[in-house]
Structures are given as structure tokens and as C-alpha cells.
Amino acid sequence: MMQTAADRNIRLDLEYDGTDFSGWARQPGLTTIEGTLEEVLGRILQQPVRLTVAGRTDAGVHARGQVANLWTASDMEPRRLQWSANQLLPDSIAISAVSDVPGDFDARRSARSRTYHYTVLNRSWPSAFQHRFVHFVNGALELDALNDAAARISGRHDFTAFTPTVTEHSRFQREVLYSRWVREGDLLVYRIQADSFLRGMVRALVGTMLEVGRGRRAAADLSRLLDGAPRPQAGETAPPEGLCLQAVEY
């Protein structure tokens, strides 16, 4: 889009329950987060809206701290834009903040890192309240083994083993700044922060670590996989419901 001196750059902070969406990215004939937001914002701003986003989440994945930006010629107050959009959006998408930002802010390119959480409910019975946001695992999971595996993920590695073989990515090195599991009652929460993520990376890492937590794979195997092993040597992709884009760091 052509930008003029009058155009404003607006940052949106978003949260969504991704259960009923075909992911972030607009796709013809499918209900997506991006498509829904662009339609509602376009109606309010009375112009076509294109969003730039920090993390393109997959189908069924959630966000508490997603960030997007858009350019507009509208002079609508940020608070009014937020309120109007939240009125029109479905209950499962909410705009937590709207702010004017400098022209060089780009939700994707300006991001220094992203933090994802993956939540496992580890007990003998499922939760009627949390089922949209947790991966239910009945049976023992060893926290120490999970963290032995998680510690090996920290640092710079080749994550080829943790993204689909057919890929849009051209480089597979990523820098992981934080990688750790914590137990919170019946929940096991994995927190990972990295400069950026390959498609499906967190869920493939979690699926592989869960095999370690169950005693079916050695934690040391992670080190080998992180040296550019092919996808089939890593574990299954964990289901999307446990995954949430928690924050984007600028």
C-alpha cells in the first residue's frame, strides 16, 4: 500500500482462542484470525486493512500476546478503535491494546524474539474447563527428564528435525534464549523464547520431549536431532490446543 505523510502506523495487541479458527493467515473460504480481524477493522476504518503480524500461528493455536500493525489514514482515536472492534469481533478474539507507533515499527521485522507456552494437563482425568487450552496426558511424565531435554534446546541449533520436510523456510538455524518446563499443580508448562520459530517447531519439540518424559527416548537424543537430523527422526507433533503465543519482545 502507498503510504503518505498523513498515514498512521497503529499497533494492535491481541489475544485469541484459536480453537475454532483455521490459523492466523487469511485463506479463501476458511475462517481465520487475520481474515476476521481485517474484515472488522476494514469496516470500522472504512478502508481495506492489511495486517503485518509477529507470529503466524497454525490452526487451533492460541495467543495471549500476539502483535500486529496496520497503516491507516483514519484519525480515529485508539480507544475508540479498540472498543468498536471488540464490539464487532467474535468472543474468541479480543484486542487488548491499540496504540500509535513510529513509522519504522513493523510487528514482524521489529520483533527481537517470541515466547511460546505449551501446556500439558497431566493427571488421570481431563478438564471440562481447560480442554481448549491444554493437551491432556494421562500417565507419568518425568519433570527432570523433560528439563534435561529442554536444556539441550537452549542455544543456536539447526532445527530441521522439528519442522515439516516440505517447507517455506530457507534457513533452519534458530537461537533459543529460554527453554524450560515448570510444574504448576496438575499442569506442566513448557516455556520457550527464541529469535524466531520455524513452522511447527514448538509442537515438534514438545512431542519429542514428551517421549523423553515418558521414558521412551533418551534426553541426549535431543542433542543429536538438533544438529540438523531429518524430520522423521524426531517425535510426533504435539496437538495445537496446548500451544499459545505468550509474548513478543521488541
Closer to a copy of itself by Cβ: residue 94 or 111? 94
**129 sits near a copy of itself (criterion: CB under 8 A):** yes
Of 126, 164, 228, 230, the residue at the interface with a copy of itself (CB under 8 A) is 126
**185 sits near a copy of itself (criterion: CB under 8 A):** no
Closest by Cα among 159, 173, 171 to 205:
159
Contact predicate 238/146, CB 8 Å: no
- Give, as ranges, the residues between 83 and 102 that touch a copy of itself (CB under 8 A): 83, 86, 91-96
Closer to a copy of itself by Cβ: residue 67 or 201? 67
Closest by Cα among 220, 186, 192, 187 to 204:
192
Q: What is the 3-state secondary structure (H, E, C) of 122-191?
A: CCCCCCCCCCCCCEECCCCCCHHHHHHHHHHHCEEEECHHHCCCCCCCCCCEEEEEEEEEEEECCEEEEE
Closer to a copy of itself by Cβ: residue 22 or 127? 127
**74 sits near a copy of itself (criterion: CB under 8 A):** no
Of 16, 116, 159, 181, the residue at the interface with a copy of itself (CB under 8 A) is 16
**80 sits near a copy of itself (criterion: CB under 8 A):** no
Catalytic status, residue 144? no
In the set 17, 58, 148, 221, the catalytic residue is: 58
Contact predicate 248/66, CB 8 Å: yes
Active site residues: 58
